């Protein structure tokens, strides 16, 4: 196996010598900082202005209107077509970030099930194998523990692997490699090794994917020392976080929500990255701080429209960095609003919301005028039936009710 990755490095180096060099700007991070038979469903196309195209799968039409409504954010009246840059789906933004980093650094390689000429289960790596070759885009058997461990070992030798889990729930099979190797080897080797690996893939509650395919692994992985965790929610931050994660010297787990891949947005033509440890202010406000991430960002923004009509002024923050938390941004918001609502798709017990509640209570308790409220998914296996599935996940109406309770 070592010979395979020596070949990867040699082929990558040769490719870099025979092609035009990639001249990129230097970015500084803030000190604060195939063989698989699993197939994926199709999705409704949602644009940044909330319009949508019909899904080719008639079974999903009931959920289409729900997803379209959930992705409408407060925005200016400027048409997306008049903005500079280029328009991409979220999965295309991830691919663009990956391809740019592969062109910039010959050490970057990809491995996982069906990531090669099939293009990945959600087409994030479509066309990448054709462009960079089979050694840098390596199809693997269905063996998450093996190829995740292989990626960690490749990182130890100097490569920068991007490991794709076809579904984040499948990476439970690689929990030993992620916890005992990925997160700890830098420490247990006395600093002799760095592990610059990115582990990424789709997760969250999809559209009738069943309990096993609706896992939210962030709750499982947050307690592992030595790793960073980020969750993308827009095409812009998907590309920026992908590029930043690949450049990081730390192991980074990038969470992508299965229902956001077909979200469309115009992103800059210029090269950019996002800070891995920074939250995003989605909507400034005065009355209450609402913290969320990933798909719940859109449920919150849908609820925010109702709240504004009711006279409330919510401040919405997409925390993005799940580990570590951006307590600078969060703390400044708490000091201003004095009330906190956390909305997550994780389970309540041991979830991101529980850790966030503890961090806010420990650091900003004196600024709170009301107890923190955390809205989480029901602590049950996600049902297959669509109506029951919706009942297990936080809905906008629940967010409105919680804000009313907080602001009494």
Catalytic site residues? Answer: 144, 213
Count how many Cα atoms sit within 13 Å of the Cα of residue 203 in the half-sphere of its side chain: 26
Count how many Cα atoms sit within 13 Å of the Cα of residue 282 in the half-sphere of its side chain: 30
Q: How far apart are CA 68 and CA 52, in angstroms?
A: 7
Q: How far apart are CA 91 and CA 260, in angstroms?
A: 8
* Rg of the Cα atoms in the chain: 21
Neighbours of 203 (CB within 10 A): 25
* Non-local CB neighbours of 3 within 8 Å, separated by 6+ positions: none
What does the DSSP 8-state code read for residue 109?
E
Dmax over Cα atoms in the chain, in whole Å? Answer: 67
Q: How far apart are CA 174 and CA 161, in angstroms?
A: 16
Angle in degrees, CA 118, 35, 205, rounded to 5: 70
């Amino acid at each position: 196996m070592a010979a395979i990755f020596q070949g990867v490095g040699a082929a990558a180096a040769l490719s870099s010598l025979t092609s035009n060099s990639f001249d990129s700007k230097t970015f500084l991070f803030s000190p604060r900082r195939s063989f698989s038979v699993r197939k994926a469903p199709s999705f409704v196309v949602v644009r940044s202005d909330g319009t949508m195209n019909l899904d080719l799968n008639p079974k999903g039409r009931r959920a289409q209107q729900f997803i379209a409504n959930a992705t409408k954010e407060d925005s200016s009246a400027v048409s997306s077509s008049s903005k500079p840059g280029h328009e991409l789906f979220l999965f295309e933004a991830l691919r663009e970030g990956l391809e740019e980093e592969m062109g910039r650094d010959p050490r970057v390689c990809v491995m996982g099930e069906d990531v090669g000429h099939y293009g990945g289960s959600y087409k994030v790596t479509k066309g990448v194998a054709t462009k960079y070759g089979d050694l840098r885009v390596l199809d693997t058997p269905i063996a998450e523990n093996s190829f995740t461990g292989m990626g960690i070992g490749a990182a130890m030798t100097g490569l920068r692997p991007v490991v794709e889990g076809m579904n984040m729930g499948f990476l439970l099979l690689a929990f030993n490699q992620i916890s005992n190797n990925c997160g700890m080897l830098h420490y247990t080797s006395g600093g002799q090794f760095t592990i610059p690996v990115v582990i990424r893939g789709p997760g969250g509650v999809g559209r009738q994917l069943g309990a096993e395919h609706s896992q939210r692994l962030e709750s499982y992985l947050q307690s592992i020392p030595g790793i960073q965790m980020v969750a993308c929610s827009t095409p812009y931050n998907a590309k920026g976080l992908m590029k930043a994660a690949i450049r990081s010297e730390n192991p980074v787990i990038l969470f992508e929500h299965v229902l956001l891949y077909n979200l469309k947005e115009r992103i800059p033509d210029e090269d950019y990255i996002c800070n891995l440890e920074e939250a995003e202010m989605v909507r400034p406000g005065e009355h209450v701080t609402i913290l969320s991430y990933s798909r719940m960002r859109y449920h919150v923004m849908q609820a925010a429209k109702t709240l504004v009509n009711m006279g409330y002024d919510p401040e919405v923050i997409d925390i993005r960095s799940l580990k570590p938390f951006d307590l600078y941004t969060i703390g400044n918001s708490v000091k201003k609003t004095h009330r906190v609502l956390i909305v997550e798709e994780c389970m309540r017990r041991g979830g991101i919301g529980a850790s966030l509640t503890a961090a806010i209570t420990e650091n900003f308790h004196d600024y709170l005028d009301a107890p923190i409220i955390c809205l989480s998914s029901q602590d049950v296996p996600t049902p297959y039936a669509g109506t029951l599935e919706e009942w297990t996940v936080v809905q906008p109406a629940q967010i409105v009710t919680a804000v009313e309770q907080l602001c009494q």
